[in-house]
Amino acid sequence: MASVIIQEFIQALDEEIEAIKRGKGGSIVKIFNGRFLREISGLFVYIFNLENFLVALEESPAEIEIRGSRYPAQVLLTQGLEVEIGIEHFSGQFISEAKLQTNLWYLLELLKKKYAECQSSPVKVDFHLSEILFSGQQVNSEPPSQAEIRYSIGADPPNEAQKQAIEASFSSELSVIWGPPGTGKTKTIAEAIEAHLNAGRRVLLVSHANNAVDEALEDVAKHLKATPFYQEGKLVRLGKPQEEHLKRLEREYELVLLDRIAEKLGESLAKEKNTLESQKRQIENTLASFESTFRALHTVKILSKELHGLNLSISESARQLTAAQNELKRLEESQRGNREKLVKAHSAGTLKRLFGGFDPERIQRDIDLTSVSIDSKARLVKEMYTRLNELQHSRQVKEDEANAARREAELLLRNMGISVDELEYKKKESEYKKDIIQTRITEINRQLDEIQSKILSEAKLVATTLTKTFVAKQFPDVPFDVLVLDEASMAPLPHLYWAAGHCRKFATIVGDFLQLPPICLANDKPMAKKWLGRSIFNVISICSVEEAKRDTRVKLLDTQYRMAPDIADISNRFFYGGILKNAPCTLSKRISNDGVAESSLVLIETAAMNPWCSRLSTGGRFNLYNAILCATLAKHIIQHTPDGRIGILTPYRSQARLINKIAKDWGLLDRLNISTVHLFQGGEEPIIIFDTVEGAGTKVAPMLDDTKHDSDARLVLNVALTRAKSRLYLVGHTKHLLSDLHPDSALSRITRHFQREAETLESETLVDNYFTTDFEKWAEALLSVEAPTREPVSGDLFTEHNFWARLFQDLKTVKERLIILSPFLSIRRSSMFMDYFRAMIMRGVEIRIYTRPVNQQVGEMANQADVVIRQLRNISANVIEHRSMHQKVAILDNAITWEGSLNILSHRDTGEHMRRFEGASAIEEIIRNLDLDEENAVGTQTSEKCPGSKRLPNCNGSLVVRTKFNRKFLGCSNYPKCDYTRRMDGSNRERKQ
């Protein structure tokens, strides 16, 4: 079985690697606000904020560019839009900005290589336990007489379900601890591990993420701190813990940290290393103090060399000028002789001319040729003279620079009290000492590494990530007795199989099959889908509540301790079939008014605003109104709660990124944890805002609709709704959700539950809305070309929430660019803007109008759109016809955005609303999401007519930019009636899209 599975793993990894490479095999992301945290295991650890979500496995290799220099690095941890990076170079306490390049397929390639070596090498990994785990076969429990179960009870004893899970882990070769959110699985893991350790078994504790490993290890250390296991350094963390956990471990349980254990065992070596590193830093500081002087001396040397070159050039130019002047003088003397001979020739008789060599024609030719030579030489002399003057001027400038540099170097040397020769000697001496010290540090590190290897080989518990089991050179060869896997649903199967191959007797799988599985990019490939797109629960056929209840391998943890009861009851009702209980302590999880609401469940209803949901050309979705709403909601809560973080979750990266940009503009990031549901799995916060994003303009995506084939909607929703401990906000357009979803779908049922049970707030109570009435009144008062800074004619014009008043005032501030997205155009409305637009264009303002093509409009609206588009183009406005657009947006100088339900350039405004906000980062994200700065954006209708196809020869449609498989092409606007397509490079073809 093992050889077959391994071959399939290799194929699956190949398919995934190929899929990643098709997407360029890595990513370059901008990171900023880097803060130095610590040095650990030879890496300088920094935490950065991210511009975009980083798709990289923890412990992936990377390269970072800082101030133009590149250094090897490692991605240690990603959490939302923050990333911890270990760099092999210290770059100061703060790094304002950098670029990070990751290699997404490196770790998969390494694991594939490991499996290939197992097939070809005589040294085989024993995959016996892996086969038991992946076959899911039932095996007999170990006879109780052979090992007695013992673990400490403590002040907080395990409940009955936890006891049964601990006993199953202890006695069964394969046990599954089913731990729904908040049911104390980490505590159960710790006590099960203690039982195994007390029986003399070595344990390997693994998870896909550092955070899960750290949480479990903390509980183990807490239970065993007073025992020899901890005191003798037998509980070991391999790898760098997440920063928050690392601080706690250093403070309370430092003897689980490999570096600290090694320092204790090699105390004299560690002291010597610390002393040497201190000496090395002093030497580096001394060398750094020399640096400015050496730079000044180097500048003097360079300038002197350049000055020497200039002097040589001047000498050579002077020589050439003298030679050219002498040659010119010779030519002029020759010319004078020729002219005298010509006079004599003209006065001489025939015989004298014949016998005296006085041929007038020949002499005249000589004169003409010499004149040309004289003119040419005179020009050359003039040019050489000019060149010589330029060189002499350059020499003077260079002499001044060299003298200034020399004075600076002399001043620096005087301040240091040494000569140049002494400085050179000190530098060489310091570098020699530094090399000696570094050599000794390297030797000490080698000895400490040997100590660390010995520590790991003798450890009773090693806690690490699945990745480290095949990446870390220090990972012990000595096999373990027990494998404990936490967060099992997210564990990639090839990684898990490899880790289990290093264990011999027992495997305990801990997790929840109702959480999200690993992400697989090559999901259309058979082996990748089979082995990278599924979880271990799929492999062992535990995928539903009923299957789990029937399975004797499964032990359910049935009491939740994390969430307020109202929050926990949602997942219990809709996903867990009512099998979970709330611990009495959960009653205290309820919190008081946070400035917005008082209940544990809060529905933020957006139906009255009917916000638009946009689909990106790459497949993601975003909803600008919802993004502003979530940021505004968080801002209100932050103003009323002095501490604690708020989580904002969304199914879509593009929406999370937009909310993050708004929060950044508003200065809220320190208090927010903004993430996708997938990336937040395993996390928790007291308050969670879950943005469903969906709205008018799109059907509810399969990601949130569990009635669709292969949908993970139930898992996405379960994760999202179980992250909050005290208060859960659901942001949604319930009318849209309920009308688009099947009544039996999970989200539809959850939405109805919130309508019944939650405190409901209308979104307009949080986000300001501007009412769009009295256009003509405002236009006449404020669209004044002649007086662009004129104030409104009367004080009553500028009411607090009148859109036109504020928009026209904003228009007067535009200096560079105005972008308007108005799907429909009317002559009456647009004509009011035309003169003002013309004046703006004359001031150098770029005006760009996005609207629907005329052929996508009907009747009188089509006629009016045609007229307005021609008028706008006549005044040099850039009109872009974009098919099926619905967004109503105005962007002013990338500084102000208006968004809402009003077509700004058409006449229908009754009952519409608009929202205004400022923030450069958020507006850049909006422009990016809407492809407003992209040439040939998907959906753009060109002016070119379709020549027709076999299906529709006389088509006369327009060519539209479309995309398929991430490649753009031109297709007919009459598709599917006409299937004409053409590559963007101009070559024609006909095909079905």
Report the percentage of the chain scoring pLDDT > 90: 44
Q: Which residues of 156-167 are buried (b: 16+ CB within 10 A; e: fewer)?
A: eebbebbbbbbb
Residue 818 three-state SS: strand
Residue 630: the pLDDT is 96
pLDDT > 70? residue 851: yes
Residue 790: the pLDDT is 41
What does the DSSP assignment read for 888-954? EEEEETTTEEEEES--TTSS--TT-EEEEEE-HHHHHHHHHHTTTTSTT-TTEEEEEEP---SS-SS
Report the mean per-residue pLDDT for the chain. 87
pTM: 0.75
Residue 340: the pLDDT is 85
**Calpha distance 313→661 (Å, rounded):** 58
Report the percentage of the chain scoring pLDDT > 70: 92
Q: What is the pLDDT of residues 822-834, one digit of tens each?
A: 999 988 888 888 8
pLDDT > 90? residue 758: yes
Is 867 in contact with 874 (CB distance < 8 Å)? no
Residue 341: the pLDDT is 82
Q: What is the pLDDT of residues 695-722, one digit of tens each?
A: 988 899 999 999 998 899 999 999 999 9
Is 955 in contact with 940 (CB distance < 8 Å)? no
Q: What is the pLDDT of residues 252-261, one digit of tens each?
A: 999 999 988 9
Residue 772: the pLDDT is 66
Q: What is the mean pLDDT of residues 564-576?
A: 96
Contacts of residue 403, Cβ cutoff 8 Å, sequence gap at least 6: none
Question: Residue 970 belongs to what H/E stretch?
Answer: strand 967-972
* Strand runs labelled E in 352-474: 461-465
Residue 356: the pLDDT is 67
Which among 673, 669, 691, 693 has a CA at the least distance from the CA of 683?
673
pLDDT > 50? residue 793: no
Phi, psi for residue 50 in degrees, rounded to 5: -105, 145
Q: What is the mean pLDDT of residues 387-415?
A: 88
Q: What is the mean pLDDT of residues 764-773?
A: 78
Looking at per-residue pLDDT, the higher value among 445 and 528 belongs to 528
Q: What is the pLDDT of residues 353-380, one digit of tens each?
A: 666 667 788 888 888 888 888 888 888 8
Residue 193: the pLDDT is 96
Lowest mean pLDDT among 4-13, 534-543, 744-753, 982-991: 982-991
Unique residue bearing structure tokens 């629960």: 537
Residue 355: the pLDDT is 64
Lowest mean pLDDT among 193-197, 310-314, 536-540, 729-733: 310-314
Name all domains of the chain by residue range, CATH numbers in brackets: 26-104 (2.40.10.170), 160-265+459-557 (3.40.50.300), 270-430 (1.10.287.620), 582-765 (3.40.50.300), 770-932 (3.30.870.10), 935-993 (no CATH)
User: Would you tell me how many other CB atoms lie within 10 Å of the CB of residue 583?
Assistant: 17
Residue 631: the pLDDT is 94
User: Would you tell me how many other CB atoms lie within 10 Å of the CB of residue 926?
Assistant: 24
Lowest mean pLDDT among 66-70, 170-174, 578-582: 66-70
Lowest mean pLDDT among 165-179, 535-549, 663-677: 663-677
Q: What is the pLDDT of residues 896-925, one digit of tens each?
A: 999 888 888 886 656 678 888 888 888 988
**Calpha distance 798→813 (Å, rounded):** 16
Q: What is the mean pLDDT of residues 194-210?
A: 95
User: Would you tell me how many other CB atoms lie within 10 Å of the CB of residue 696?
Assistant: 15
Torsion of CA 347, 349, 350, 353, to 10 degrees: -60
Lowest mean pLDDT among 156-160, 189-193, 250-254, 873-877: 873-877
Lowest mean pLDDT among 417-426, 757-766, 774-783: 774-783
